[in-house]
């Protein structure tokens, strides 16, 4: 990065770097996983913060005092705004009464009732903590219900980090971990149909996200009739249809992303936006699978914690009050339309894919993500937090002023990128 392009007001990231150097001594890779500088594609690292000091509404502040309009939303959980007062009050009230206790509280029943009232296909709900907890439970339930082993996944789909979700060649993954996995391309119904013919009576489950949102590539919506054909094929062949709604959930429709796209799965997995940052996940399903989920032994030390359940109840009620899904879709369209126009103004083409409330974007003027990475670095130094590899999120606290500022910052960043390359 050319230091002469460093914008006024950028305070640098010295405090973040100092803490990261300390972390490297005691934490493998310093920041493990998808929020670390390697996985998050922080290139160059001198342009980005590594740690957050505090957060409120659509903003976070780093250790050096820089404020960012945040379009990662904690990779999805921030749906109402950081430190939403309604959710925080519900969490605090329950925590004073008791959180992790010897028995569940009434909040567990109340939350299950609310999910069954809200999500179209939900006749029951099972709670855990992380998204991967409930995608793995979906596998077990599907196998318990069908007595079959094989599962079908979409290539490039993400369902967590359990061994069954990964590929041979990744550290710690053995061929046995994925021996019963079958793969199809997104939107390719004929491939799935062929797998069913080739594996008669052997497939327990088909799992996919509501639309295809892998990292590093354009997101893809379902083709017309795709989900309806998949649903019928599953129903006709006794295959459990599972929607991983962990990332999309409540940003397309409060009734479920499957409702948004017009089909009915047997199971649906929820996590990120479920409780506005409180740690909780849920598997919901139809009555036909009630006995199967009851038969599976699956539990955790903190899975009945009441504070997160109180937070989830408050979050869903607030989303209903605000018509949150439609609000976020509208905010996302205003934002992405403005950024596309800002890019075009300086001769760049910004391609936006997915849905506006959870969009992916890249500059198409080169065949790599290099220009997109430069753009994200430039916006970071101007107080807008994007990443180049992952889809982005809107939340209900995002204001028109935030969007206007973001478009202005994007225009400045596009000008810098265009000056280097065009």
Determine the angle formed by the axes of helices 306-322 and 324-345, rounding to 10 degrees.
70
The predicted pLDDT at position 37 comes to 82
The predicted pLDDT at position 5 comes to 67
Picking from 1-15, 89-103, 333-347, which range would have the lowest pLDDT averaged per residue?
1-15
Contact present, 294 and 124 (Cβ < 8 Å) = no
Question: Strand order of the sheet with strand 124-128?
Answer: 124-128, 281-285, 267-270, 240-244, 203-208, 150-154, 181-184
Reply yes or no on whether the pLDDT at 6 is more than 90: no
Apex 297 CA angle, 124 and 276, nearest 5: 50
Determine the length of the chain. Answer: 422
The predicted pLDDT at position 176 comes to 97
Phi, psi of 222 (to 5 degrees): -65, 140
The predicted pLDDT at position 2 comes to 42
Distances in whole angstroms, Cα of residue 58 to Cα of each of 80, 83, 187, 366: 9, 10, 34, 31
The predicted pLDDT at position 40 comes to 74
Apex 339 CA angle, 334 and 342, nearest 5: 125
Reply yes or no on whether the pLDDT at 199 is more than 70: yes
Tell which residue, 324, 315, 398, has the closest CA to residue 68: 398
Distances in whole angstroms, Cα of residue 175 to Cα of each of 51, 138, 185, 350: 37, 21, 21, 40
CATH no. for 85-322? 3.40.640.10
Q: Do domains 3-82+324-421 and 85-322 have the same CATH topology?
A: no
Phi, psi of 215 (to 5 degrees): -85, 155
249-281 tens-digit pLDDT = 999 999 999 999 999 999 999 999 999 999 999
pLDDT band at 1 (very low <50, low <70, confident <90, very high): very low
114-140 tens-digit pLDDT = 999 999 999 999 999 999 999 999 999
Reply yes or no on whether the pLDDT at 38 is more than 80: no
Residues 6 or more apart in contact with residue 419 via CB below 8 angstroms: none
347-363 tens-digit pLDDT = 999 999 999 999 999 99
Contact present, 241 and 285 (Cβ < 8 Å) = no
For 365-374, what is the mean pLDDT?
93
222-247 tens-digit pLDDT = 999 999 999 999 999 999 999 999 99
Determine the angle formed by the axes of helices 324-345 and 400-421, rounding to 10 degrees.
30
Tell which residue, 188, 206, 195, 189, has the closest CA to residue 146: 206
290-327 tens-digit pLDDT = 999 999 999 999 999 999 999 999 999 999 999 999 99
The predicted pLDDT at position 401 comes to 98
For 3-29, what is the mean pLDDT?
89
**Which CATH number is correct for 3-82+324-421, 3.40.430.10, 3.30.160.20, 3.30.750.24, 3.90.1150.10?**
3.90.1150.10
Domain boundaries, the chain: 3-82+324-421, 85-322
For 21-30, what is the mean pLDDT?
94
299-309 tens-digit pLDDT = 999 999 999 99
390-400 tens-digit pLDDT = 999 999 999 99
Reply yes or no on whether the pLDDT at 410 is more than 80: yes
138-187 tens-digit pLDDT = 999 999 999 999 999 999 999 999 999 999 999 999 999 999 999 999 99
Q: How far apart are CA 8 and CA 38, in angstroms?
A: 27
More confident residue, 66 or 2: 66
Question: If you average pLDDT over every residue of the chain, what do you get?
Answer: 96
Give the whole-number percent of the chain exceeding pLDDT 90: 95
């Amino acid at each position: 990065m050319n230091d002469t392009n460093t914008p006024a007001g950028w305070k640098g990231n010295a405090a973040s770097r100092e803490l990261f150097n300390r972390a490297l001594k005691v934490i493998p890779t310093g920041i493990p996983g998808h929020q670390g500088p390697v996985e998050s594609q922080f290139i160059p690292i001198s342009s980005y913060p590594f740690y957050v000091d505090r957060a409120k509404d659509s903003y976070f502040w780093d250790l050096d005092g820089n404020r960012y309009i945040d379009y990662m939303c904690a990779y999805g959980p921030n749906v109402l705004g950081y430190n939403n007062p309604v959710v925080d009050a519900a969490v605090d009230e329950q925590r004073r009464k008791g959180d992790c206790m010897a028995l569940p509280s009434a909040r567990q029943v109340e939350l299950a009732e609310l999910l069954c009232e809200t999500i179209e296909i939900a006749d029951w709900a099972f709670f855990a903590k992380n998204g991967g907890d409930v995608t793995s439970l979906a596998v077990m339930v599907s196998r318990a219900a069908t007595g079959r082993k094989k599962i079908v996944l979409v290539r490039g789909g993400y369902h967590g980090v359990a061994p069954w979700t990964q590929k041979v060649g990744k550290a710690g993954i053995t061929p046995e971990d994925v021996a019963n996995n079958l793969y199809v391309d997104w939107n390719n119904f004929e491939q799935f149909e062929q797998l069913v013919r080739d594996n008669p009576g052997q497939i327990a489950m088909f799992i996919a996200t509501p639309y295809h949102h892998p990292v590093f590539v354009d997101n893809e919506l379902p083709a017309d009739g795709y989900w309806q054909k998949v649903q019928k094929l599953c129903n006709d062949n006794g295959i459990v249809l599972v929607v991983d709604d962990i990332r999309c959930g409540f940003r397309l429709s409060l009734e479920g992303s499957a409702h948004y796209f017009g089909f009915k799965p047997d199971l649906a997995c929820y996590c990120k936006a479920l409780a506005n940052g409180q740690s909780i996940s849920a598997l919901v399903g139809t009555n036909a699978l009630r006995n199967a989920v009851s038969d599976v032994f699956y539990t955790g030390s903190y899975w009945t914690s009441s504070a997160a359940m109180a937070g989830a109840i408050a979050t869903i009620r607030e989303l209903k009050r605000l018509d949150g899904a439609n609000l976020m879709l509208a905010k996302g369209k205003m934002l992405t339309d403005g950024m596309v126009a800002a890019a075009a103004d300086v001769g760049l083409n910004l391609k936006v894919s997915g849905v506006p409330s959870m969009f992916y974007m890249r500059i198409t003027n080169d065949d790599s993500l290099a220009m997109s990475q430069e753009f994200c670095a430039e916006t970071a130094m101007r107080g807008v937090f994007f990443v180049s590899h992952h889809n982005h999120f809107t939340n209900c606290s995002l204001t028109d002023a935030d969007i206007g500022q973001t478009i202005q910052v994007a225009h400045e960043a596009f000008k810098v990128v265009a000056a280097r390359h065009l």
